[in-house]
Structure 1
Amino acid sequence: MMSVENFNEIKKTSFWVSQLFILVSTVVGVFLAANQGYQQAVQFENMTSYKENYYLQKSLQYELQDNIAILKELMIRLQDPNYFGARNESPNFYSLVWENMKYSKTTLGTPPEFLRLAQQFYRNIATTQQKIAKGDISIPSGIKQFQAQIDIIEQQLIPALEKSTEQIKKELDGTSVIL
């Protein structure tokens, strides 16, 4: 038979063992909960970033398409011999998206080659227009340069933006993010 003293000793040992298990399980539980919370926060941030980048790229795409239409109208006016102000007319581009990209943290999430092509388009169009206005180049030569810039945007940048936004859309499929 077991003595009272041995019985009390067993009770003390089992008490401390149970306390140790409670402590370990609490620490593991807190760690797992914190880890899961962190993963959810990172996932939320990624989804938000994807959504913002989708809208930024789509908006840039639409703005560029609208500006190409404006440039094509200018090119038609430049070829009209009865329109004397054409040489000094500059395209009145929409620039809301392009200008606001300076202040958006999402801009830096946009692939650099997209930004580079858009920047070159705006810069080269402005330079060509200035040369036409000053008479440094002929109108037909300027129109060829305009068309070269349009071709780059229509053949390279617009398809790349469409492909990128489709990829982002695929990433967001199956999530609760609505585009």
Structure 2
Amino acid sequence: MSQNQMPNPKVDIERVNEIKKASFWVSQVFILLATVIGVYLAASQGYKQAVQFENMTSYKESYYLQKSLQYELQDNIVLLKGYMAKIQDSNYYGARNEPLNFYTLIWENMKFSSTTLSTPPMLLRQAQQFYREVAKLHESIAISDISVPTGIKKLQAQIDIVEQQLIPTLEKNTAQIQHELAGSDIIL
């Protein structure tokens, strides 16, 4: 069309008549509804995926934390058994006062981890009791508040609790987490 030519008034009238028709408005309403529903469904699905990913990541962190605590407790039991053997040896005079030098990297860093509270409270309580009771017994043996045989018996009781209750429960709990993550893309 050149600049001097006028638009065809018949075509403009047809467009105006088309806009006035109900079918035009119905189709526009359906387009609007379809857009809103599509955006809602996409956002909802995206939110579900984000929550699922966050849960899986939390499970993974919890798995590693609990496994690390388990290994640390097992290593500390080995150290404690070595200490118990030394204090029973009458030729080793300084054994009573020898420090235990437990590995506590995991236990100490659990204070700062948000994942710590996803560990079942019973497990945390048992670990806390183990560390606390062993420290008290070690001090009592060192200052001769209790005899070596009594101390050995009480230390063995603490070892038994960890070996027979805490560690198997940690293993069971981490196996359950591993099972939860088996169907996901999260690699342990």
Residue in structure 2 matched with residue 141 of structure 1 by the alignment: 150
| Secondary structure at 1:85 match in 2 | helix
Paired residues for 1:38-49 under 5 Å: 38-49=47-58
- 1:127 counterpart residue number: 136
Once residues 85 and 125 of structure 1 are traced to their aligned partners in structure 2, the CA distance between those partners, rounded to angstroms, is: 18
SS state at 1:24 partner? helix
Runs of 4+ in 1 over 3 A off after TM superposition: 8-11
Question: RMSD of aligned C-alpha atoms?
Answer: 1.6
The correspondence of residues 60-139 of structure 1 with structure 2, limited to 5 A, is 60-139=69-148
Work out whether 1:28 is the aligned partner of 2:37.
Answer: yes
Unaligned runs of 5+ in 2: 1-12
What TM-score, normalized to structure 2? 0.90
Query: Which structure has the bigger radius of gyration?
Result: 2
Structure 1 gap segments, 5+ residues each: none
Q: Distance in 2 between the 1:70 and 1:87 partners?
A: 14
Deviates more, 1:40-49 or 1:87-96: 87-96
Distance 1:138 1:30 in 2: 74
1:42-90 alpha-carbon deviations (Å, 9 max, x no partner): 0000000000000000000000000000000000001000001011112
Aligned length: 175
Match of 1:15 in 2: 24
- 1:95 Cα deviation from its structure 2 partner: 0.5
Rounded Cα–Cα distance in structure 2 between residues aligned with 1:11 and 1:174: 56
Aligned residues of 2:18 and 2:24 also touching (Cα < 8 A): no
Query: CA shift at 1:9, angstroms?
Result: 6.5
Q: How far, CA to CA, are the matches of 1:87 and 1:10 in structure 2? A: 97
CA distance in 1, matches of 2:101, 2:61: 27
Judge conservation of contact 2:19–2:25 (CA < 8 Å) in 1.
no
Deviation at residue 12 of structure 1 after TM alignment: 2.2
